[in-house]
Amino acid sequence: MRKQGSYCEYKAERETALVECFRKKLGEVMVVDLNQIFREVSLSAAPRFYVSESHAERVIGYYRRHGIWKVKGKKRIEMFEEIARRVDTAMETDEELTFRDAIEKVVNSPAPEFYFTAQTCRTLIYEAMRKLRIGALRK
């Protein structure tokens, strides 16, 4: 868990991707069930893994040394398992690739899902949309 006030360099990109996916899913339905839409958004493919390369390197390195995940939450563990699996595949494919380079390559590649719960998606989307509305009002 991030400390309060810490900065996430990809936050704006993540919010934009979530809102775009939400609007796309919203446009696909005739009857709006927001809970279902948030579930679908959370399971939609993401443009990248929303974790920094350095954090992924620390978490996966710790797991390799100690055999336990140093993160909490089912979705976070699933995400790091997928990243670790892809890193292993990348390093087997290209033997000259270092662990750090493999992490960077994998984290910046498309992810199979956003790795958020539906409730977290709801919170992030509403917060991002509120920021967009406030920004639009200020102009």
pLDDT digits (tens, 9 = 90+) for 38-49: 999 999 999 999
Cα→Cα distances 122→36, 39, 40, 128, 129, Å = 11, 9, 11, 10, 11
Q: Are residues 58 and 102 in the same domain?
A: yes
pLDDT of 5 > 80? The answer is: no
Q: Are residues 15 and 40 in the same domain?
A: yes
Q: Which residues pair with 46 in a beta bridge?
A: 111
pLDDT of 35 > 70? The answer is: yes
Q: Are residues 61 and 102 in the same domain?
A: yes
pLDDT of 133 > 90? The answer is: no
The reply to whether 3 falls in a domain is: no
Tell me which residue range forms the domain holding 130.
10-47+110-139
The reply to whether 1 falls in a domain is: no
Token pair, residue 23, equals 């609007």
* Predicted TM-score (pTM) of this structure: 0.83
Q: Are residues 17 and 34 in the same domain?
A: yes
Q: Are residues 73 and 88 in the same domain?
A: yes
Rounded Cα gap, residues 86 and 107, in angstroms: 9
Q: Are residues 101 and 63 in the same domain?
A: yes
Per-residue pLDDT at 132 = 79
Among residues of the chain, what percentage have pLDDT more than 90? Answer: 67
pLDDT of 134 > 80? The answer is: no
Q: Are residues 76 and 102 in the same domain?
A: yes
Among residues of the chain, what percentage have pLDDT more than 70? Answer: 91
Total domains, the chain: 2
pLDDT digits (tens, 9 = 90+) for 50-104: 999 999 999 999 999 999 999 999 999 999 999 999 999 999 999 899 999 999 9
Rounded Cα gap, residues 19 and 128, in angstroms: 7
The reply to whether 2 falls in a domain is: no
Q: Are residues 35 and 20 in the same domain?
A: yes
Average pLDDT for residues 1-18, to the nearest whole number? 69
Q: Which amino acid is at 73?
A: G
Who's near 48: CB < 8 A, 6+ residues apart?
A: 10, 13, 107, 108, 109, 110, 111
